[in-house]
Chain A
Amino acid sequence: MLTMVNMRWSLGYCIILASILTGEAGAAGDDRERRIEELERRVQQLEQQIQQLLGTKPGTKPEDKPGGKSEAYPTEAERTPEMRLPVSGYMDFHFNKPRGEPGQLDFHRFVLLFGHSFSDRIKFWSELEVEHAFVEGREEKGELELEQAYLDFLVKPYFNLRGGMLLAPVGLINERHEPPSFHGVERPFVDTVILPSTWFDTGVGVFGDLGRGLVYKAYLMSPLDATGFSAAEGLREGRQKGFQSSWQNPAQTGRLEYHGIPRLALGASFWRGSTGFRFRGVNPRVKVFEIDGRYRLGRFDFRGEYAQVAISKAGELNLALQRETGVSPNVAERLRGFYFEPAVRVLPRRFNRDLALFARYENFDTQNRMPRGFLPLKQFDRSAWVVGATYYPEPDVAVKFDYTFLRNASSVVKAVNSLNFGIGWWF
């Protein structure tokens, strides 16, 4: 390919050079103009001939080797035939051994992603997840979930429409949860009990690139259901997951990402919604706020996230659920968590494989502030050190190992450390 390009320009140079060398010295400017025009016309002819010689059409299958080619392009965008994107997927497979308990082998996730381009402007994307717990000595059901299924209408770079089953644009992990994308066998605790990843539901919204590295998303989504809130896991069981979701009072959510500074990626998101649609008199409003950042410096990668959840009328929610079910869930008014994770790639660049060492400190409290008259359960005021390594025999395959030191502020219930291994891949 490269030689073709070189050939063309070499030809051009030669022609010009030849013309100058053989041209009459001191010829009139007009004469030279005419000759240059003539030359331009001939160059154009040559271009077309070369195009024919190459005989390629736009939209060919991608080839997996470096280098590229460019072609003569048409004036208006060519109409692309309907293009089927290939199937993608990710899977992960875990071994978890909490201290003092038997180990558990679990094929945690088997996810297939399908997309389809109806045209350059209308695209469909979906994610189908099978969670099948293959567990020793305990009963557990698997889950089959449609995590994403939406249609994108691409209008302008700064404004596009989306509708369907969407991922809530909150937090780092919710949208970036392919196994090679994060360190540690399990997802960070903050992204599990403070931000209930994987958080998805039906919705519509807009998104776009505002230029200068600013990218935004703003959606209206089905709200969370307050009857599922709990002390241990916060909002997690309140996810409706698109199962005939209630659309009274859709929640507003959005995310802004900034990639303007080299090697730095910053993000901020929020989620706001009324969650009391199953009750008659109680309507807790939930506000989620989150900021995150990722920074690369040579072999080092730094990642950090802070998330905060506010649940209004949590006290009334507890009382209402106590009247209905006989047990108060002891939901907090405020949940808070953050983590910081440095990681370093230790193998030299020339190796085909990569090995990263990481250490993550997490601090997360799902009972951070309680409504008046309620006491916090200190066993849920937790912190963790997750230390381990990720080995990439190939950039899309991650062999993970970590040891999780878990602590809580309780004098009654002990926290348990665990050893974890995992293999995850993306294709």
Chain B
Amino acid sequence: MLAALAVLAGQDPPVGGPLPEITAAEFERFRVGLEDFTSVETVADGLGPAFNAASCAACHNVPAIGGSGTITEIRAGYRDDDGRFTVLGGGTLYHLFSIPPHNCHPRIPAEANVIARRISIPLFGGGLVEAIPDEAIVALEDPEDRNGDGIKGRAARIVDVATGRERIGRFGWKAQQATLLAFAGDAYLNEMGITNDLFPTEAAAGISPETLRRCDAASDPEDVRDRLTGLRGIDKFELFMKFLAPVPRGPIDAAVQRGEQVFREIGCAACHVPELRTGPSPNPVFDRKPVRLYSDLLLHDIGAGDGIEQAAATGDEIRTPALWGLRLRRPLLHDGSAATPEAVIRRHDNEAARTRDSFLALPRAEKEVLLAFLRSL
């Protein structure tokens, strides 16, 4: 499988570059962001006391910087018999590492009965996704299943931390953030323990606030403006993700085209919507552009939920993953437990049960072209 991927990658244009039509000044900002994305934070920078990695790129690097990864992080909580979820220990994200001498290492409470794993979500095409208007996403939702197709996609209504406004979330496995800046700030604190203007308070699940204060004496916010550019860390990450190009399509042949037809016919495209459009923008790079991400960005229950309630999503819901770049990502599913797209399809249930059954009922040739189509994404 890896060999096949390598061959395909060799034929593809490389991934991880910026959007093609940006200006030189935007390119510079992209590179400034890329540099900070890969730079390793230290305790002096505010890392910790508990963290999942010391740089963004440590987890977001497959097949290129800004991608997915193989490192999984842990979330935990408590879910009672009625399905009500309780956050224990101050949060659901329990960090993997702590700074020496490790007296601030998170402990998952014994009462936790939900443990979930998550791999890093790919960030390619972040700017295009950010530019999709809220209305476009809301227009796709159907929480009461009015059209009776069994699909009940729900827009993630969240409050954007930067503006205080109600927005439709789209970033993260549970669509917990609507803007790249908030997404960056959220990750900076929650993955690396670095407080910033949007998330100014040190917080870590499984560590009491008093213990945290003892272990992390750095004054908050720890993210400061860089002297040479005037930008904060979260600004640079935003610029990187904003101008990061989506993964281009792989080679398309007759089998792939036929496979796309099958994809629509059996109903995959109902949630994995092939194309959305960005809204009007003063920047020509984002002005009414097609975004071929194969996702409706809505929350669905397909029986693969990790049981963790987060932002606007219940424990059972997960945001439709975008399929662009699928061929360059392994492992699959939010918890990295699936090895192949076929295995993922078999795991679809609840809202997607009908479509899964249609897939399993397909004649072999049709299954092959559908998988060929998925291999081209």
Contacts and interface: CB of A to CB of B under 8 A. Distances in A.
B228 interface: yes
A293 B15 CA distance: 46
Given A411-B25, A413-B28, A328 B227 contact: no
Contact of B24 (A322, A328, A378, A414): A378
Given A323-B10, A326-B16, A413 B228 contact: yes
Contact of A322 (B14, B38, B229): B14
Given A412-B229, A413-B229, A323 B28 contact: no
Interface centre among A326, A376, A410, A413, by most chain B C-beta atoms within 10 angstroms, is: A326
Interface in B208-237: 227-229
A250 to B, nearest CB: 30
B138 interface: no
B32 A413 contact: yes
B297 interface: no
Interface in A394-427: 410-414, 416
A322 B10 contact: no
A165 to B, nearest CB: 34
Contacts of B63: 326
Interface string A346-376: 0000000000000000000000000000011
Nearest to A380: B28
Interface string B7-34: 0011001111100001111011101101
A323 B15 CA distance: 7
Band of interface residues on B: 20 to 34
Nearest to A370: B24
B228 A414 contact: yes
A327 interface: yes
Given A322-B17, A411-B25, A414-B229, A330 B61 contact: no
Contacts of B17: 322, 328
B28 A327 contact: no
A379 interface: yes
Given A322-B17, A327-B38, A327-B64, A378 B28 contact: yes
A6 to B, nearest CB: 71
Contacts of B61: 326
Nearest to B61: A326
A100 interface: yes
A323 B9 contact: yes
A326 B27 CA distance: 17
Contacts of B32: 412-413
Interface centre among A327, A328, A377, by most chain B C-beta atoms within 10 angstroms, is: A327
A102 to B, nearest CB: 12
B14 A328 contact: yes
B132 interface: no
A319 B28 CA distance: 18
A322 B16 contact: yes
Contacts of A411: 25, 28
Interface centre among A375, A377, A416, by most chain B C-beta atoms within 10 angstroms, is: A375
Contacts of A101: 227
Contacts of B302: none
B81 to A, nearest CB: 46
Contacts of A323: 9-10, 14
B65 interface: yes
Contacts of B14: 319, 322-323, 328
A376 B24 contact: yes
Interface centre among A100, A323, A410, by most chain B C-beta atoms within 10 angstroms, is: A323
Nearest to A319: B14
Contacts of A376: 24
B28 A379 contact: yes
B34 A327 contact: yes
Nearest to B20: A373
Nearest to A409: B24
Contacts of B13: 319
Nearest to A100: B227
A313 B24 CA distance: 21
A416 B17 CA distance: 28
B174 to A, nearest CB: 27
Contacts of A322: 14-17, 64
Contacts of B228: 413-414, 416
Contacts of A327: 16, 34, 38, 64-65
Contacts of B38: 327
A381 to B, nearest CB: 10
Given A326-B63, A327-B65, A377 B16 contact: no
Interface centre among B31, B67, B229, by most chain A C-beta atoms within 10 angstroms, is: B31
B28 A377 contact: yes
A328 B16 contact: yes
A412 B29 contact: yes
B325 to A, nearest CB: 14
A376 B23 CA distance: 10
A376 B15 CA distance: 19
A378 B27 CA distance: 9
Interface of B: 9-10, 13-17, 22-25, 27-29, 31-32, 34, 38, 57, 61, 63-65, 67, 227-229
15 contacts: A100-B227, A322-B14, A326-B16, A326-B67, A327-B38, A327-B65, A328-B16, A375-B23, A376-B24, A378-B24, A378-B25, A410-B28, A413-B28, A413-B32, A414-B229
Given A413-B229, A414-B228, 12 more contacts: A100-B227, A323-B9, A326-B57, A326-B63, A327-B16, A328-B14, A328-B17, A330-B31, A375-B24, A378-B25, A411-B25, A413-B28
